[in-house]
Every structure is written in structure tokens, then in C-alpha cells.
Amino acid sequence: MVRITTLALLLAAVPLFVQSNHLLGLFIAVLFSAYLAQSWNILGGLCGQFSFGHAAFFGVGLYSSLILQVDFGWPAPLALVSAAVAGAVTGLFVGFVSFRYGLRGSYFALVTLAFAEILRMTASVVSFTGAGSGKYLPTRLGIEHLQFSKSGYFYFILVLFVLVHLLVLAIQNSRLGARFAAIREDEEAASALGVDVFRYKMIAILISSAVAGVGGCFYGQYYFYTDPHIAFGAAVSIEMLLAPIIGGAGTLFGPIVGAVVLRVAAELGQSLTGGVPGFNLILYGIMVILIVRYMPDGLIGGLRRPWALMRRRPTATAG
């Protein structure tokens, strides 16, 4: 709690010192990545259900928010809420069909991947999504339209970022979090101890996908555009799961660390190669292999282990 508040206050001061729009944009991108990573972390990290298609929830939120604003004239704040609802409904559906039949591990990963693909293909065919040419949001500056200046967007995503971290912290410190952890560590044991595994997995995917849906809404407000690939592409799902895994899945700060590392690596890769397409994803791929190989608990876990060893050693020799 203290650490999150400190982090939030420090970040809130950033626009006062950072004048460059590019740098502020980078901050927004990192916070946004961390936000999405945290959404994946609720289901994948806390509850141990690896989703390979989180883009499904993100994309449904993104499309529903744009469509409701553009075609139905809904006010933006209401669209934000409905993005959460739309994401959650999609999540519940995916969760119901897969958890109902006890799909887990690789099977669950495959089902989520396939769902995102189906949505991507459908969105590129049907007309109400704008098909392949995508969907635009007209510019209407003003807080009632949730459209801001650059620093305004920074505070917008900062608020979302802080809220999701408070949410994760609250889950971790509650009985709900304990049940999630029990399911993650050993489903059979959790079930034997009386945890209703299906129900709590549904709760996990509900929260996770609602959060992802709101992330989709933010994307729409910030970039004013989407197409099937931006919304449902495999790259979105991969980024959402890489950040928490690189940082440390199931930890509160892992997704932040992962998002920072990925974004900085992408930025470095871009400036080193002059923006060659695909280069940063090559880096991501290599990074994930190395981290799974050498730090299976992510950067946070990997750094914590030697630290814990160092602290333990004196007592060991004393004893």
C-alpha cells in the first residue's frame, strides 16, 4: 500500500518535469503496458490460468467502446463502463466453456488463443466493426469525452494504473487471493480443501477480463482508431502475458518491472536499428527464453532469491 502510494505520487509529478511529448508518450506506454500486464496477472499470475488470448477481452472492450460512442452516441464515460462489462461478459463466456469442462494448462491456453483468433477473423468480416478498414473515433477534446492533452492522458492512465494495483493488492490480501493461490499451486488439493475451483476461476477471469476491457477503452480514447489486428492480434496477447512473466507472474510489482523492461528494450531496439520492423519482438522472444531458462520466477523472483540467500547466510553460520 505504502509502496503503491509512493510510486503513484512520484509518477504524478512526472508531467511537471517532463516537457518532451515523446518522453511523456513513453511513460504513458509503459503505464498502459503495466496496466494490461496486471490484467493478465490477475488470471494468469494470481490464479495460475495461463491465457494466450487476452486480446479477446481487450479487443471486445476496445470495439464496444468505439462502436457505442460512434454509432450509438453514448457518452464516453458510459462507454468505459460498458467496455468493462463487454470484456467481463466475454471473459465469463470463455471461462464457462473452458473451466466447466476442466480445461487447464496447455488446453486452456489453446482455447483462449482460438477465441481471440475467431474474434479477429469475425471483426475483419462483419460490417459493424468497420471490417478490415477499422473504426475511427472523432476528436472531441474534453473530459466529458475522455479525450485529453498528453499530460491529461498521462493522468488518465495513471489513475487506471493505480486502481488496478490497489485491486490486485486487495485480492492478494483477501481470502479470495488465498483461494486463487491455492488453485494455482495445486488444483486437486484446493478442491479437496473445499475450494470451489470452478467458481473462483470464474471470478478470476471475470475480474481480469473486465480490467482488460477497460484497457481497450483507454486504447480507443488515446489512439482514436482500431482495426481487427490491433484489437485481437496475437501480438497483443503476447505482450500482455510477456510483461508479467518477465517481471514475475503472481507478484504485485512483477508486471510493472516487466512492462518497463519490455518497453525500454523496444525503445532501445528501435533507436539502435532505426525502426526495423520486428526487431523488438525478436528481442522479446529471446528475453522470454532466457528468463524462463535462468529465472523461472521472473526478474523479481530471480533477484529476490540471491537477496534472500545473502540475508539468510549470517544466521545459518551463527546457528
Binding site for other proteins (CB under 8 A): 50, 52, 97-98, 100-101, 103, 105-107, 109-111, 113-115, 117-118, 121-122, 124-125, 234, 238, 245, 276-279, 281-282, 284-289, 292-293, 296
- Give least dist CB 287 to other proteins, A: 8
Give the nearer residue to other proteins in terms of CB position, either 39 or 124.
Answer: 124
Cell 488444483, residue?
187
Whether the CB-CB separation of 252 and 172 falls below 8 Å is answered with yes
DSSP code, position 145: G
Fill in the amino acid letter for 255: P
Whether the CB-CB separation of 57 and 209 falls below 8 Å is answered with yes
Q: What is the greatest pairwise CA distance in the chain?
A: 72
- Give least dist CB 298 to other proteins, A: 11
Give the nearer residue to other proteins in terms of CB position, either 9 or 125.
Answer: 125
CB proximity list for 89: less than 8 A, separation 6 or greater: none
Give the nearer residue to other proteins in terms of CB position, either 14 or 131.
Answer: 131
Q: Whole-angstrom Cα distance, residue 277 to residue 121?
A: 23
With CA atoms as reference, report the closest residue to 253 among 178, 309, 172.
Answer: 172
- Give least dist CB 316 to other proteins, A: 26
Give the nearer residue to other proteins in terms of CB position, either 115 or 156.
Answer: 115
What is the helix, strand, coil percentage profile of the chain, to 5?
Answer: 80, 0, 20
Give the nearer residue to other proteins in terms of CB position, either 97 or 143.
Answer: 97
- Give least dist CB 11 to other proteins, A: 30
User: How many CB atoms lie under 10 A from the CB of residue 33?
Assistant: 23
- Give least dist CB 147 to other proteins, A: 32
Q: How far is CA 96 from CA 153, 205, 264, 269, 304, in A?
A: 35, 10, 37, 40, 36
- Give least dist CB 141 to other proteins, A: 35
Give the nearer residue to other proteins in terms of CB position, either 113 or 257.
Answer: 113
With CA atoms as reference, report the closest residue to 236 among 39, 24, 26.
Answer: 39
Give the nearer residue to other proteins in terms of CB position, either 253 or 284.
Answer: 284
- Give least dist CB 40 to other proteins, A: 13
Whether the CB-CB separation of 110 and 52 falls below 8 Å is answered with yes
